[in-house]
């Protein structure tokens, strides 16, 4: 799939933002007043920034509100509802913390739950697609959830939780890569099943419909730079998990924590680039590519 | 609404005969010609006369080589457009309700004034049947020429999809799959029509007729063949001398 910057920014930043909101909603760290204000501003900048990045690739962003109508069937619509609900509930909860210095715990838990639901809904936009076998796996929601929570714990300054969640996110990421590499072959979809010509013999794409590219090949048959996938996986894992964990093991200082968060964010960007660039859409088979 | 109907009264669709298709791309051209100037936004081209032309098409013809275990390879032309699936994954993913499947005839359509151009339906389609128009920013797909098939302003023989009307080989057939007596149902039954990517559970309405088995040119092809065997295996005369001389060099 084409790794569009808008979707990479969207999934990475809003994942981190809603991950942080989960922790803030649960009362970690237990802050009020200006400190709480700073935490909430950071989380809203990430969450809202990510969500608005996702509208950049729309053909008609001015009609984006229509996307709230189909929550019964569409994960994209559900994601819209969960994210707006989470942001509104936590805005009220945050106002209590910042302005009145009171914690409305019930509201916080509700907001944390809605933030978790947002993370899951985002991942299900991809995991629901049978056409991309690499994404069509329970490991996709697991990966989005563990990465979001690890980043959230890191930003929330929860050192112990962040350590364990980062290690978990790393394990899930590696499991996602290992199973993903076999997903297309295991899906059973081949050029033979795509054309129905398998019973006659070995099928080979002889001639494409047009000599040039088209929307489908540009959007769904992105193969550039897959050859660097292994190197990029190592870089992603190092930046996302290994370096932040090392920084967290050092005696705590705000500078180390900031570096750990920045390294983590860079790693998530790299992993998300691979998430899209490595994903093979079955329509590529019709073009003799994957 | 993006909830799929439990069943549709009729199931309009195409039968595409892979045995008959000659790969002339006439259906591609007539499809683009009709649909760029009728239902919905035009089908735009980008850089059409330049170095890197591309454009929106609702129907494209691939060509595949199939090599059997024995005998010569076959070349099979393979037109591909929307299959109007009964369990259409493109419809349910749509966040706005722009994509829908009609209850009365099963045609899958896009209401372009509701489409936000997110492209998720194109991702959900395994067949590459949906293309986001680069000029208009909305999703385009085969409408089964919904503006022809019920159009009483057209002569009756023209009330079929443009691709079917134009096919010079008669490789495309249009009809109602819900009616077991229809031309398309009977063709599908007689020729063993198949679904594309059946493992994905989309239950396509359109069916493809596999190519018929080819003649085998094995063994004797004519009772006179023994009499037609070459009389002289080795060249004689001047050619023979040349052959021997060149061989000695």
pLDDT value of position B221: 67
Interhelix angle for A75-95 vs A105-127, to 10°? 160
* Res. B232: pLDDT tops 80: no
* Res. B192: pLDDT tops 80: yes
d(CA A119, CA A219): 24
d(CA A118, CA A20): 12
CA distances from B30 to A20, A235, B163 (A): 55, 50, 6
In angstroms, the separation between the Cα of residue B191 and the nearest Cα of chain A is 13
| Phi-psi map region of B23: left, alpha, beta (phi>0 left; psi -120 to 50 alpha) | left
Q: Is residue A204 part of a domain?
A: no
- The per-residue pLDDT for range A67-83, each reduced to its tens digit, is 999 999 999 999 999 99
Considering its fold, how many domains does chain A have in total? 1
Contact B9, B104 (CB under 8 A): yes
pLDDT value of position A252: 76
pLDDT value of position B219: 63
pLDDT value of position B1: 61
Question: B4, B19, B25, B66: which to substitute to probe chain A, counting the most A Cβ within 10 Å?
Answer: B66
Contact B81, B73 (CB under 8 A): no
Q: Is residue A145 part of a domain?
A: yes
Q: Is residue A187 part of a domain?
A: yes
Of B136, B131, B157, B158, the closest CA to residue B147 belongs to B158
**Residue B140 pLDDT class (50, 70, 90 cuts):** very high
Q: Pick from B57, B137, B196: which is nearest to A196 by CB?
A: B196
B221 touching A, CB under 8 A?
no
Let me know the angle formed at the C-alpha of A227 by A221 and A228, rounded to the nearest 5 degrees. Answer: 115
A125 touching B, CB under 8 A?
yes
Query: What average pLDDT is seen over chain B?
Result: 93
Contact A151, A43 (CB under 8 A): no
- The per-residue pLDDT for range A171-226, each reduced to its tens digit, is 999 999 999 999 999 999 999 999 999 999 999 999 999 988 899 998 888 776 67
Q: Chain A residues with CB inside 8 Å of B52's CB?
A: 212-213
CA distances from B88 to B106, B126, B200 (A): 10, 10, 11
Least reliable range by pLDDT among A53-57, A237-241, B227-231 = B227-231
Question: A57, A64, A66, A81: which to substitute to probe chain B, counting the most B Cβ within 10 Å?
Answer: A66
| Structural domain containing residue A163 | 5-57+65-197+212-286
**Residue B182 pLDDT class (50, 70, 90 cuts):** very high
* Res. A92: pLDDT tops 70: yes
Which are the contacts of A273, defined by CB distance < 8 A and separation ≥ 6? A3, A8, A232
User: A66 vs B118: CB contact, 8 Å cut-off?
Assistant: no
Let me know the angle formed at the C-alpha of B248 by B247 and B249, rounded to the nearest 5 degrees. Answer: 95
A84 touching B, CB under 8 A?
no
Q: Is residue A202 part of a domain?
A: no
pLDDT value of position B71: 83
pLDDT value of position B236: 79
**Residue B240 pLDDT class (50, 70, 90 cuts):** confident
Query: Residue ranges of the alpha helices (H) in chain B?
Result: 26-35, 89-92, 120-124, 146-149, 162-166, 183-191, 237-248
pLDDT value of position A284: 95
d(CA B34, CA B156): 17
ipTM: 0.93
- The per-residue pLDDT for range A112-130, each reduced to its tens digit, is 999 999 999 999 999 999 9
pLDDT value of position B217: 67
Token pair for residue B15?
Answer: 């039968």
Q: Chain B residues with CB inside 8 Å of A194's CB?
A: 126, 196-197
Q: Is residue A207 part of a domain?
A: no
pLDDT value of position B223: 74
The CB-side HSE value for B107 (13 A sphere, CA atoms) comes to: 20
* Res. A158: pLDDT tops 90: yes
Contact A148, A19 (CB under 8 A): yes
* Res. B230: pLDDT tops 80: no
In angstroms, the separation between the Cα of residue A85 and the nearest Cα of chain B is 17
User: B95 vs A194: CB contact, 8 Å cut-off?
Assistant: no
* Res. B218: pLDDT tops 70: no
pLDDT value of position B24: 97
Q: Is residue A205 part of a domain?
A: no
- The per-residue pLDDT for range B19-60, each reduced to its tens digit, is 999 999 999 999 999 999 988 999 999 999 999 999 999 999
d(CA B78, CA B83): 13
Radius of gyration (C-alpha) of chain B in whole angstroms: 25
* Res. A87: pLDDT tops 90: yes
pLDDT value of position B34: 97
Longest dimension (CA), chain A: 75
pLDDT value of position A84: 96
In angstroms, the separation between the Cα of residue B241 and the nearest Cα of chain A is 46
Check which CATH number belongs to the domain holding A189 and give it: 1.20.1630.10
Query: Residue ranges of the alpha helices (H) in chain A?
Result: 5-26, 33-53, 75-95, 105-127, 139-155, 159-187, 191-195, 215-220, 229-237, 243-249, 254-277, 283-286
pLDDT value of position A212: 87
The CB-side HSE value for B98 (13 A sphere, CA atoms) comes to: 29
Q: Write down all domains in chain B, each with its CATH number in brackets.
A: 12-209 (3.30.70.20)
Map residue A250 onto helix, strand or coil: coil
Share of chain B above pLDDT 90, in %: 80
**What's the mean pLDDT in A32-53?**
94
pLDDT value of position B238: 87
Token pair for residue A251?
Answer: 């005696």
**Residue A253 pLDDT class (50, 70, 90 cuts):** confident
How many beta carbons lie within 10 A of that of residue A227, not counting itself?
8
B57 touching A, CB under 8 A?
yes
Contact A115, A81 (CB under 8 A): no
* Res. A32: pLDDT tops 80: yes
* Res. B187: pLDDT tops 70: yes
């Amino acid at each position: 799939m084409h790794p569009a910057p808008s979707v990479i920014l969207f999934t990475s930043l809003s994942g981190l933002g809603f991950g942080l909101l989960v922790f803030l909603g649960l009362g970690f760290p237990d802050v009020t007043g200006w400190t709480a204000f700073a935490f909430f501003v950071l989380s809203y900048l990430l969450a809202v920034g990510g969500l608005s990045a996702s509208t950049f690739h729309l053909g008609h962003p001015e009609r984006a509100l229509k996307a709230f109508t189909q929550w019964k069937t569409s994960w994209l619509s559900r994601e819209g509802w969960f994210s707006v609900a989470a942001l509104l509930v936590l805005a009220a909860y945050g106002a209590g913390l910042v302005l009145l210095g009171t914690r409305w715990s019930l509201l916080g838990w509700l907001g944390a739950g809605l933030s978790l639901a947002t993370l899951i809904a985002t991942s299900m936009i991809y995991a629901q697609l049978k056409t991309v076998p690499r994404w069509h796996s329970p490991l996709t929601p697991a990966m989005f959830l563990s990465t979001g929570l690890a980043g959230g714990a890191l930003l929330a300054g929860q050192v112990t939780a962040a350590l364990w969640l980062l290690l978990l996110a790393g394990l899930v990421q590696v499991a996602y890569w290992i199973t993903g590499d076999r997903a297309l072959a295991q899906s059973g979809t081949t050029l033979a099943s795509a054309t129905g010509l398998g019973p006659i013999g070995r099928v080979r794409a002889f001639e494409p419909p047009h000599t040039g590219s088209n929307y489908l090949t540009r959007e769904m048959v992105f193969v550039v730079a897959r050859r660097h996938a292994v190197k990029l996986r190592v870089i992603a894992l190092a930046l996302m998990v290994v370096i932040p964990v090392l920084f967290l093991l050092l005696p705590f200082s705000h500078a180390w924590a900031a570096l750990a968060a920045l390294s983590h964010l860079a790693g998530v960007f790299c992993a998300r680039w691979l998430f899209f660039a490595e994903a093979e859409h079955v329509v590529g088979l019709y073009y003799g590519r994957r | 609404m993006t909830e799929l109907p439990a069943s549709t009264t009729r199931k309009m669709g195409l039968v595409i005969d892979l045995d008959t298709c000659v790969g002339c791309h006439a259906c591609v051209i007539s499809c683009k010609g009709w649909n760029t100037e009728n239902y919905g936004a035009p089908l735009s081209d980008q850089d059409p006369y330049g170095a890197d032309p591309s454009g929106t098409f609702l129907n494209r013809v691939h060509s595949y080589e199939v090599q059997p275990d024995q005998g010569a390879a076959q070349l099979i032309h393979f037109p591909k457009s929307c299959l109007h699936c009964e369990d259409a994954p493109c419809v349910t993913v749509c966040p706005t309700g722009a994509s829908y499947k009609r209850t009365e005839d099963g045609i899958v359509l896009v209401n372009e004034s509701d489409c936000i151009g997110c492209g998720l339906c194109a991702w959900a389609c395994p067949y590459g049947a949906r293309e986001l128009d680069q000029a208009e920013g909305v999703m385009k797909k085969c409408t089964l020429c919904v503006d022809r098939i019920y159009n009483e302003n057209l002569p009756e023989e023209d009330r079929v999809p443009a691709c079917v009307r134009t096919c010079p080989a008669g490789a495309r057939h249009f009809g109602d799959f819900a009616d077991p007596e229809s031309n398309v149902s009977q063709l599908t039954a007689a020729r063993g029509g198949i679904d594309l990517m059946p493992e994905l559970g989309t239950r396509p309405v359109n069916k493809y007729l596999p190519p018929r088995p080819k003649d085998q040119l094995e063994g004797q092809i004519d009772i006179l063949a023994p009499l037609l065997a070459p009389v002289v295996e080795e060249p004689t005369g001047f050619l023979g001398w040349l052959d021997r001389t060149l061989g000695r060099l």
